[in-house]
Structure 1
């Protein structure tokens, strides 16, 4: 784990604490970590708890305890201690990190589209109601699917159909029973009908455009959603998924079987895969499919950087090796996470773009 990786890990812990309402403070743009000074504890130290104590209205050591709970056990971190008025001190564990990464890649490939799904809300029924408007209807359907990733049941209702041709943007869901909870799903209106969006953008681009912005933001639904370049986030995500599937096909042609047996140096991609279950949980709890969409962009960026700088397959006369098998396994795991996230949003993940 590099200092940059550790900084991102601590920043994610701050965001998680704020999302869970355990910490009420603004999330900083970045978190600084530095080598522990002589006589200090661990490999790295961080003073973010002292920075957040004032805005949070808590003692710095109290903030540090909140963050330690959310950082301890993260890949590559062996021990987290609190010293002085509230400094976080980290001792790294490279071996544990490598074992954790290998186990995660295996888990993704074994669980497939179910990676990240848990049963923490098993037996709970959520009743979601939305106004008669297409964007709210689409978000309600995705929130229902997100809640199901947490083991819950969900039913969606409306005072009437959201509009003509609504069925073309609807994703069918099954029956639901259990203990009830209810919520109203609202969003800035799309200003268009399902039919006009499907005719102009197609089903998948329309669904992405309606869900990618946060519900309280306006949804840009222009022709940019159809641009076949990486500047279009939907194309980026689907292109990355298609590239991952293409590597699998080419690997099979070469007789190369994916197997994660050698640790692959791709920290951003490993981190993105590790974040997927937490993103699903937070998006379900906050009724925010946009978080899934943004996370898919992160996964896609990390995967494309990885495959652009590290050859997953043998090149030229190069012999297949354990490193190639491991890289191919990591690529397949990335493709699986991208497909699973798109599925939650109701969007197809084609093997070719």
Structure 2
């Protein structure tokens, strides 16, 4: 029995109790949930529905709990119901009902954990969006892993989601990039405000390979600008793909200018009455929506600002039909929150249409000291540096294991260990152990059969593991709802721990001179179910699930 099924039974029993006590069931929720108590002695699951509804119904919570318990105890699969304190329901399932989950998981396979909690949500998730003027740095590594994992989690929860990368291919930073390339191609010093690092030399050389006539062209600057951006974006796309990070759309800022979208956004905002002129410039009155100051759309020289492009881009997303916009920004963009929320409200959208997630910094350590800087990138640590140091799996897992609002100290020595000190190794090893047990069973001719006797799964370690397995869909739904993919990683570690304890205390395969028993077969189903869930959890994090280690 899954927690969701049990919750439905609790709600059904509560309705029956309300009817028996002649109470108005209009106060009952349409859905409820059950939780695992911290102390296993208090049962398998707990519910506070009596406490939630008694006062609204005008009755005593403990008296209501007693009537709910009476009906719930008569439900198939429920062994007993105890009442604690003022009206908590502590529910114990019978072994057969608890053990059924293993079979359901194996039958569901890769779809186990998916849910419909975000069904009908048409969302756009923008993350990374690093300027195409250099390699992705360590901060971008965090968003690449966390953003991609969040996209997977939201899709697993039913959202129709587009993962998007905003390419800042317009503005001064692009001109500085082009000037740097041209200078290096000519063998000249890097210009003021220019970019440095071996990658500038590499791209300048590649531009000349692609366009041998670049220096003799009518406008060499434009040639290096166009070709350089193309090459840098190709490098970024390749790096992200190697990092298992997928984007559905790479959206060009320049296209907004080319299509007149900034004028369109300005006209719309003016129609809504939020635009004004002052000091020769055109402004958006963002203070009306909680921003700390009003923002310039066009400066006194008539040039568009970056903020104007932000307005046009927001409007473009909404006009593409996205109802929920999630934007992931680095810690250095904290000041953008107020102005971006003001844009949303200036266009008439309700609070909550735009969600902004701010991520904190990543510190790389080796031997307890800051990790070396990258020669290729000049003065920054790049995504490729991180991957080279710890590998894709460890890098992705490390970046998604903590909540976005916490700083990460990524110790290279820890994340390259083949021991339980390394969280990703610990989880992957648990998956490899399950695969090894199933492989050994097949080699010895021990089959789990088409079905199993779930009532035989009575050992405390079996019970703990089954309850952990049953929680996975709810964990996925919560991670999607709260935009917290780190919950998947923490769950995977808890599940791995439960499995390691199970395998230590519960012999799965018979000894060579013993016959296969129904208990062996039932435990093989549990092992297979654990393999499925560990693989699915790692998959949501974009991390591999090796069968051998």
Rounded to whole Å, the distance in 2 between the matches of 1:125 and 1:92 is 39
Q: Report if aligned partners of 2:78, 2:97 keep a CA contact under 8 Å in 1.
A: no
SS of 2:115's partner is coil
Deviation sequence 1:132-156 (CA, Å, 0-9, x none): 3231232111111001111212122
Aligned to 2:543: 347
Aligned to 1:18: none
Cα 1:91–1:128 change in 2 (3 A) is closer
Q: Report if aligned partners of 1:251, 1:257 keep a CA contact under 8 Å in 2.
A: yes
2:362 aligned with 1:190, yes or no? yes
Rounded to whole Å, the distance in 2 between the matches of 1:127 and 1:296 is 27
Pairwise CA RMSD:
4.1
Q: Report if aligned partners of 1:75, 1:100 keep a CA contact under 8 Å in 2.
A: no
Residue 60 of structure 1: how far off its partner (Å): 9.8
Rounded to whole Å, the distance in 2 between the matches of 1:349 and 1:316 is 29
Rounded to whole Å, the distance in 1 between the matches of 2:438 and 2:519 is 15
Aligned to 1:253: 443
Rounded to whole Å, the distance in 2 between the matches of 1:45 and 1:159 is 46
SS of 2:110's partner is helix
Deviation sequence 1:75-122 (CA, Å, 0-9, x none): 975565878x8232446442xx422422x1111111112101123433
Aligned to 1:230: 420
2:466 aligned with 1:270, yes or no? yes
Q: Report if aligned partners of 1:208, 1:234 keep a CA contact under 8 Å in 2.
A: yes
Residue 130 of structure 1: how far off its partner (Å): 2.8
TM-score, with length taken from structure 2: 0.49
2:404 aligned with 1:215, yes or no? yes
Cα 1:203–1:291 change in 2 (3 A) is same
Cα 1:256–1:218 change in 2 (3 A) is same
Q: How does 1:98-247 map to 2 (within 5 A)?
A: 98-102=96-100, 104-131=101-128, 132=130, 133-160=140-167, 164=236, 165-172=239-246, 180-185=323-328, 186-190=358-362, 192-223=381-412, 224-247=414-437
Q: Report if aligned partners of 1:108, 1:115 keep a CA contact under 8 Å in 2.
A: yes
Q: Which runs of 5+ in 1 are unaligned?
A: 1-8, 10-21, 36-43, 51-58
Residue 169 of structure 1: how far off its partner (Å): 1.5
Rounded to whole Å, the distance in 1 between the matches of 2:405 and 2:546 is 30
Deviation sequence 1:236-257 (CA, Å, 0-9, x none): 1011100100111111112111
Rounded to whole Å, the distance in 2 between the matches of 1:190 and 1:158 is 21
Aligned to 1:13: none
Rounded to whole Å, the distance in 1 between the matches of 2:443 and 2:151 is 40
SS of 2:409's partner is coil
Residue 312 of structure 1: how far off its partner (Å): 0.4
Aligned to 1:321: 517
Q: Report if aligned partners of 1:134, 1:189 keep a CA contact under 8 Å in 2.
A: no
Aligned to 2:17: none
Cα 1:124–1:188 change in 2 (3 A) is same
Deviation sequence 1:266-285 (CA, Å, 0-9, x none): 12101110110110000011
Runs of 4+ with deviation above 4 angstroms: 29-35, 44-47, 59-62, 72-83, 161-164
Aligned to 1:86: 86
2:491 aligned with 1:295, yes or no? yes
SS of 2:408's partner is coil
SS of 1:183's partner is strand
Aligned positions, number:
308
Q: Report if aligned partners of 2:124, 2:322 keep a CA contact under 8 Å in 1.
A: no
Q: Report if aligned partners of 1:256, 1:320 keep a CA contact under 8 Å in 2.
A: yes
Q: Which runs of 5+ in 2 are unaligned?
A: 1-5, 7-30, 52-58, 131-139, 169-232, 250-319, 329-357, 364-380
